[in-house]
Amino acid sequence: GGLIDLCANASMTCNALMRPFAVCLGVAVFLVGAIDLTLRLIRVFKR
């Protein structure tokens, strides 16, 4: 069926596009967290 195939293709394409996006998002969140933690530690040690 055309519509079912279309939906399946859209779903696969969506998953293929979302996986790298999710990885990038995870890396970005991790980096922001690491930077935030580092800045907090610097602030603590400067006192």
Tens of pLDDT, residues 2-21 = 888 998 999 999 889 899 89
Helices (H) and strands (E) in the chain, counts: 1, 0
Residue 8 vs residues 3, 4, 5, 36: alpha-carbon distances, Å: 9, 6, 5, 41
Instruction: Report d(CA 43, CA 36) in Å as an integer.
Output: 11
Mean pLDDT of 10-35: 93
Q: What is the pTM of this model?
A: 0.58
